[in-house]
A = this chain, B = another copy of it.
Amino acid sequence: MNKVQQYEEKAEILKALAHPIRLCIVEGLINNECNVTRMRECLDLPQSTVSQHLSILKSRGIIRGRRKGTEICYTVTSELVKELMKVLMNK
């Protein structure tokens, strides 16, 4: 693979994580999956804001949502991100 391209891809992943709200969301999701409304209460932010952060994470393949009735439950699917979070938050 092209080196520049690789840097761009990795930078995209980091950019997706490089926001306090998204870090909070991702860390929360690594432990227990959660729907938007629950996150919203926890973060005290407008619903649209949470939803947009989720869509950024989703578009980068970091999380995935599965519908459960009327809610959508999200989980972290990227192993790379799980490992990065382990390193990032435990030091």
A interface, CB within 8 angstroms of B: 3-4, 6-8, 10-11, 13-15, 17-24, 79-80, 83-84, 87-89, 91
Besides the known contacts A10-B89, A11-B18, A79-B91, 20 further A-B residue pairs in the complex with CB atoms under 8 A apart:
A4-B24, A7-B23, A7-B24, A10-B23, A10-B88, A11-B19, A11-B22, A11-B23, A14-B15, A14-B18, A14-B88, A15-B15, A15-B19, A17-B18, A18-B18, A80-B87, A80-B88, A83-B91, A84-B84, A84-B87
A18–B17 Cα distance when bound, in Å, is 9
Give A76 Cβ to nearest chain B Cβ, in Å.
15
Measured CB to CB, the nearest residue on chain B to A79 is: B91
